Every structure is written in structure tokens, then in C-alpha cells.
Amino acid sequence: MKTAQCPALFISAMASGQGKTTITAGLARHFRNQGLNVRVFKTGPDYLDPLILEQAAGSPAEQLDLWMMGESLCQQYLFDAAQTADLILIEGVMGLYDGNPSGADLAEFFGIPVVAIISAPKMAQTVGALALGLKSYRPSLPFAGIIANTLGSDRHCDLVAESMPEDIPLLATLRRSEDMVLPERHLGLVRPHEIADYDQKLDKVAKLLGETELKTLPNPLIFKEPENQDEFTAAKTNSLKGLTIGIAKDEAFSFIYPANVRFLEAAGAELHYFSPMHDKQIPEVDCLWLPGGYPELHLETLSKNQPMIDALHEFYQSEKTLLAECGGMLYLQESLTTLSGETWPMVGIVSGRGYMREKGGCQGMQTAVLPEGDVRGHAHHRSRSEDQSEPIAFGRRISHPAPGEPIYRTKGLTTSYMHLYFPSNSSAIIDLFSR
């Protein structure tokens, strides 16, 4: 069995909103600025954080999730990264022990030391108690230390330092600063390409972290090559060779797992990208995939692109395969209403009216129960959809007994709020696109 050595850290926190992405990105940029090759991963289903991590590291960012991907594929990604990288950074999801499997499960499975962030603008010595709890809750978990974030003063930093148990390193005390804040919107952080000075922001975070105990590389770890070395073996044995697939990709539609694209390419499909916002026609293809994104930010442009709407109607009537996920589904319905109450007509291929909302929606891992087979994925949205037709099935949650997201099918169209991870069931995805 082949092995590769590389230092690695798992960046987690006591909860969401503690600064995981900012600090992971800042560390990646710090070591990149030292001339090192940094590979970054994001635990769980996320499209926005990987864009920021990729911008910071200057290298591709991938998902790493035991449930959605499986142990072997996670192991393959880490082994591949360790062969060329000087450092591997993995950003966790929510709190360290949240979820099943949790970030702690992933870190322990691969023996990667955990750095836990505690945002403490309104506490002092209690940070030490929280640190002790995070470490001792699972004694078998490799634990590198604590980052205390959003502190108010030098005295605040001193109080936190005095509270720490002797066997838990305090790796950094970070003062509350605008330099440590990345822009946000609903569903997550703002994408880097939307902000002109994003690199300068990352460099400022990197400079602050470079002044802490995190400035040096941790000890290298050994990563093993999995027995199954080909992540897309099933894709190659169930070929899509000769099939052409159009993929919507622009400012409104961008929630695309890189692994999904690699899967389709490995299966032999020929991919063509197009923009529902700017193009007047769709490519000459056998299938279409409309992923999620932010259509609600571009409703006027989408609504007024009548040639594209006409082309989608024609494609739908041909009964060719069309997969629409979350924002792609909302785009194909009758209308979408903003938070301010402004309603714009959408494509109108299928029944249903979407409404954006301040809170609520859905977030979590689910299995899409398709006629072709079960495909794992997730749902994450701040909208509701009403007056749809009868669903053919519902998503299945990991442990909660309540039905997940409804799944709809009419003619060749399959729609749902769910985002699918194609490699989780190669044969089902092959059948979906080739039916």
C-alpha cells in the first residue's frame, strides 16, 4: 500500500459563525505567501466556502464528507493531496461534534489534529472551560489547540490565556477587527469574484495569523492510498460516451460540485456550459443540468431573456432529460418573489411559485429517492415553493423520520430542492442522464 506524508490540520469550532472559513482561508493564504503548496478541503455540502478557500490557497478546494462521499473517496482525496502539498487544511462544518457523522468523526478517522475556534466577545475565563469540554468530550480525538476569536482588548486576551488548562495550547488570541470579517449574505459568504479587493482582505487575515503560534507547520501525518484507487470506476463501466450535456453556469447558477463535473467527464459525456442570463439559446445537447445558485439576485435579467425561456420550453417539450436543482428548479417554475414582495415571472415550464424568506427553509443531508436509485446529497435554501404538482417521492433524511424535500418528475424533467452528489451512486446518475 502506498503512503504519502504531509502536515494537516482540521479547523473546527464550538458552533457556526465562529470564523472557521475566515481563519482557514487566512491560514491557507499565510502559508501560500511563504511559497508553500496548500491544499484545502471543506467538510460537508457547501458551494461558497470552497470558493473562498480556493481563492486563498491558489489551488482547488473540494468537499470531504464521510456520509456523502464515503470513507474510500475521502481517503483518496487526502492521499492525492498529500503527494504534492506542503500542508492540508480542512474546514469543518457547524460545531465540532455536530452531525452524524460529525467533523470530529472525520478528523479522528484520519488522525488529523483539531484546531477549535471559540468566538468570545462576551466571555473571558469561560473560554478555558469550553476548551476543556471540547477536548475531553472525546479523549481519542487528536487535539492541536484553541483559537480564541473576536476578543476586545489586550486584557481580554490575557484573561482568556489565564483560563486555559495546561494541556491545551492556546494557538492564537485574535482581536475583534474588520480585517477579520469577510462579507456575507443569505446562505453564506459572498463569492470572491464579486469583490474587487478580496485578495487584499485575505492577505490582511494572513498577516494577523502569521503573528500567532499558527505560523509554523505542524508535524507531518501519513496518508494511505485506498484499496479502490479509482473514484469513478462505476462511471467508466456505465459509459455516457456520445452523450452531450448542457450545464447552466453564470452569476445566477454556480452551485456545482467539481466532483460531479469530473464524474460526467469520466463517464464519457461531452459537456457544454451556457448562461441562462446572457445567452439567447441553449447548446445543441441531449441533456440539460440546471444547478442551484442565486437566481433571486438576478430576477429581472432572467425574466426578460425571452429567447432563452423559449428555448427551454422547446427543450422540455422534446422530453429530453433535464435535471434542475434548487435555484434551477425555482427558475423553471412560474414565478419567484423577492423578500420585498416583488414578483418576477420565470420560465413557467412546471407549476409552482417560489418565495424568498428571511428565515427558515431547509438545511441538511438527504438521500434523493429516485426511480433510478438512491443518490446522496443535501438541501440548503431560504425559500419556499407553493402550488407544485404531486411529487413522485421525498428525500430521506439521515436520521429524522420526517419526509425530506419533495422530488418532482414530468416528461424528461426531474426537479427538487436537493443538490445531488453524483459519485454517491454512479449507476443511478448514468441511468438518469441516459434514460
- Give catalytic residues, as residue numbers: 326
Q: Are 246 and 282 in contact (CB under 8 A)?
A: yes
**Residue for grid cell 441511468:** 431
Separation between Cα atoms, residue 31 and residue 37, nearest integer Å: 8
Separation between Cα atoms, residue 260 and residue 283, nearest integer Å: 20
10 class by beta-carbon count within 10 Å (0-12 exposed, 13-18 middle, 19+ buried): buried
Q: How many CB atoms lie within 10 A of CB 342?
A: 11
Q: Where are the alpha helices (DSSP H) in 122-248?
A: 126-136, 154-163, 198-209, 233-237
Q: Are 43 and 90 in contact (CB under 8 A)?
A: yes
For strands 143-151 and 114-119, give the pairing: parallel
Separation between Cα atoms, residue 12 and residue 24, nearest integer Å: 9
Separation between Cα atoms, residue 435 and residue 71, nearest integer Å: 30
Among the listed residues 131, 122, 208, 133, the one whose alpha carbon sits nearest the alpha carbon of residue 162: 131
Q: How many CB atoms lie within 10 A of CB 277?
A: 17
Q: Are 238 and 430 in contact (CB under 8 A)?
A: yes
For strands 321-325 and 383-386, give the pairing: unpaired
The beta strand positions in 291-361, using DSSP E, are 292-293, 321-325, 335-337, 343-345, 353-356
Please list the residues that pair with 396 across neighbouring strands: 367, 403
